[in-house]
């Protein structure tokens, strides 16, 4: 009996070696170069309405998005400065004196909230952490919830008070909790502003009360608003609250952003006003997959800032749409693997693929897939193996990398024999 098993085992190992591709065992076999071959492929599973072109290519272009020019339309705004951008791409759809240097007032808190969310999402702090209140924080004045030095609120409660009621005392308390002092926190704010390309901005405090030299622009506000909403979307759990309470119902909060209650799809974001700054607003909203950010600065009245922010958002939703081609992690296709422990690997989208379009356009979008028919092991998780581009009338709308979703080790004699014996044990069990 044992002789029979040994005999079949030898035959199985021999045949396993025979049926494996010769290239698995011999490294110097030349592979067929398929560069520059082209053919049309059916990609209905990715986007039913796209004309798809399959291009064999070894090019390594980086992710890019073409710009949609800001419309020359005049919305006849009374505010000193304004801008409208699309959130995912950052494309400017409308601007009016967008780089004019002005006082931000409490819209400053967008940057403070951004740094708080970075600390939360990185694990530096948690929502349940208790935050003490210093004498400095309790004496801030302006919009506040009258923090007392004897009480400790959670980070969750602090965020709620900052986002809903624009609480200056809570903002300073969080700044001190994160950086040790407001001054150290403001330094972080300015470093982040520089990182985001906010060249019109200098922060002097974390709350926005008037201080000489504390300035920004509507353009820069759109940059930090976009960073907050795209990198930390859970912030809308707070910025969309209309009314809530703290301290076991003893303190009532009402959102200073009236659009949250009155504008369909509103997601935030932050109001601000002082005697010198007048009335400012960073307003965000999402409808049918299109997310917009409208910034108003130095509006003459609070009513004007809301009506003109709504005018900007209405203009954007009436004239533009967002076309989603694929989502991060979607499988494009299976790619054959040579010299690997497995014969194929899933090629997936490295990031979301989509673009902003003017309404009435985008019916003849081409999808161009640049990917090899075979790849050679070893392959790392997330390794770029191709690219997909989307074009309209010869212009590239967006490009995204295609990557491997798993690791594939290079096959050798050891793991080849290991696989053979594993197969045998499964048969004999």
Predicted confidence (pLDDT) at residue 20 exceeds the cutoff of 70: no
Show the 3-state SS of 225-242: HHHHHHHCHHHHHHHCCC
193 to 144, 221, 224, 396: CA distances (angstroms): 25, 10, 8, 30
- pLDDT tens for 58-89 read 333 333 344 455 557 899 999 999 999 999 99
Contacts of 340 (CB under 8 A, 6+ apart): 376, 377, 378, 379, 408, 409, 410, 411
What is the CATH number for 152?
A: 3.40.710.10
The chain-wide mean pLDDT, for the chain, equals 85
**Residue 386, strand partner residues:** 402
- Assess whether 282 carries a catalytic annotation: no
Q: In terms of residue numbers, what domain contains 128?
A: 81-319
208: left (phi over 0), alpha (psi -120 to 50) or beta: left
Indicate the pLDDT class of residue 427, thresholds 50, 70 and 90.
confident
71 lies in a domain?
no
CA torsion sign, 226 to 232 to 238 to 240? positive
- Are residues 214 and 100 both part of a single domain? yes
Asked if residue 3 belongs to a domain, the reply is no
Tell me the two tokens of residue 122.
Answer: 């990185």
311 and 414 co-located in one domain: no
Instruction: Count CA atoms within 13 Å of residue 422 on its CB side.
Output: 6
Q: Is residue 74 part of a domain?
A: no
pLDDT at residue 35 is higher than 60? no
Q: Convert the pLDDT of each residue in 359-372 to its tens digit.
A: 988 888 999 999 99
Q: Tell me what pLDDT residue 176 has.
A: 98
Number of domains into which the chain is organized: 2
Tell me whether residue 4 is in a domain. Answer: no
Residue 76: CB atoms within 10 A of its CB come to: 8
Find out whether 137 and 172 touch, Cβ atoms under 8 Å.
yes
Q: Which of 106, 143, 217, 218 is catalytic?
A: 106
Up-side HSE of residue 118: CA atoms within 13 Å toward CB?
15
Q: What is the mean pLDDT of residues 186-207?
A: 98
pLDDT in tens, 313-328: 999 999 999 999 999 9
Measured from the Cβ of residue 402, the count of other Cβ atoms closer than 10 Å reads 22
Spatial separation of the C-alpha atoms in residues 349 and 353, rounded to whole Å: 8
Q: What is d(CA 298, CA 218) in angstroms, rounded to the nearest whole number? A: 10
Q: Does a structural domain hold residue 68?
A: no
> Both 99 and 216 in a single domain?
yes
Structure-token pair, residue 24: 């698995």
Q: Worst-scoring range by mean pLDDT, 80-84, 214-218, 266-270, 415-419?
A: 415-419
Which whole-number Å values give the CA distances from 7 to 2, 16, 419, in the listed order?
A: 8, 14, 19
204 is catalytic: no
CB of 396 closer than 8 Å to CB of 61: no
- Domain's final residue, options 319, 335, 352: 319
Same domain, 182 and 289: yes
Last residue of a domain, one of 280, 302, 319: 319
Residue 10 inside a domain? The answer is: no
- The sign of the torsion formed by the CA atoms of 237, 239, 243, 244 equals positive
pTM: 0.78
> Both tokens of residue 297?
């600065």
Domain membership of residue 33 (yes or no) is yes
Of 52, 166, 218, 284, the catalytic one is 166
Query: The domain that contains 352 carries what CATH number?
Result: 2.60.410.10
For the cut 70, the answer to whether the pLDDT of residue 13 exceeds it is no
The answer to whether residues 333 and 209 belong to one domain is no
Same domain, 407 and 262: no
pLDDT digits (tens, 9 = 90+) for 129-174: 999 999 999 999 899 999 999 999 999 999 999 999 999 999 999 9
404 as an active site residue: the answer is no
| Residue-level pLDDT at 429 | 65
In a domain, 224, yes or no: yes
Catalytic residue among 109, 192, 311, 323: 109
């Amino acid at each position: 009996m044992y002789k029979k098993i040994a005999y079949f085992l030898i035959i199985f190992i021999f045949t396993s070696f025979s049926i494996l591709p010769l290239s698995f065992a011999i490294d110097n076999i030349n592979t067929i170069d398929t560069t520059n071959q082209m053919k049309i492929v059916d990609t209905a599973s990715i986007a039913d309405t796209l004309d798809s072109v399959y291009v064999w290519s070894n090019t390594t272009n980086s992710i890019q998005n073409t710009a949609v020019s800001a419309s020359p339309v005049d919305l006849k705004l009374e505010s000193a400065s304004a801008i409208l951008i699309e959130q995912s791409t950052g494309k400017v759809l409308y601007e009016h004196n967008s780089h004019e240097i002005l006082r931000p007032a409490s819209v400053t808190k967008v940057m403070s909230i951004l740094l708080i969310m970075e600390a939360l999402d990185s694990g530096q702090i948690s929502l349940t952490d208790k935050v003490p209140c210093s004498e400095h924080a309790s004496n801030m004045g302006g919009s506040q919830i009258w923090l007392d030095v004897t009480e400790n609120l959670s980070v969750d409660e602090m965020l709620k008070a900052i986002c809903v009621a624009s609480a200056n005392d809570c903002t300073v308390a969080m700044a001190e909790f994160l950086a040790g002092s407001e001054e150290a926190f403001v330094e972080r704010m300015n470093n982040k502003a520089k990182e985001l390309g906010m060249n019109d901005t200098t922060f002097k405090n974390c709350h926005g009360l008037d201080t000489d030299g504390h300035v920004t622009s509507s353009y820069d506000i759109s940059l930090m608003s976009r960073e907050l909403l795209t990198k930390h979307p859970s912030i809308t759990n707070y910025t969309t609250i209309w009314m809530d309470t703290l301290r076991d119902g003893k303190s009532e909060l009402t959102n200073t952003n009236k659009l949250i209650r009155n504008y369909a799809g509103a997601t935030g974001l932050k109001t601000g006003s002082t005697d010198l700054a007048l009335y400012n607003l960073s307003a965000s909203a999402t409808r049918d997959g299109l997310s917009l950010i409208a910034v108003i600065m130095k509006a003459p009245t609070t009513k004007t800032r809301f009506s003109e922010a709504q005018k900007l958002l209405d203009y954007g939703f009436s004239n533009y749409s967002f076309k989603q081609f694929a989502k991060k992690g979607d499988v494009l296709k299976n790619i054959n693997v040579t010299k690997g422990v497995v014969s194929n690997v899933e090629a997936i989208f490295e990031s979301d693929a989509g673009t902003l379009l003017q309404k009435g356009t985008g019916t003849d979008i081409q999808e161009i897939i640049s990917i090899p028919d075979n790849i050679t092991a070893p392959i790392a998780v997330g390794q770029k193996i191709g690219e997909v581009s989307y074009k309209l009338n010869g212009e590239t709308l967006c490009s995204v990398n295609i990557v491997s979703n798993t690791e594939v080790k290079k096959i050798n004699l050891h793991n080849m024999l290991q696989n053979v014996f594993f197969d045998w044990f499964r048969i004999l069990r």
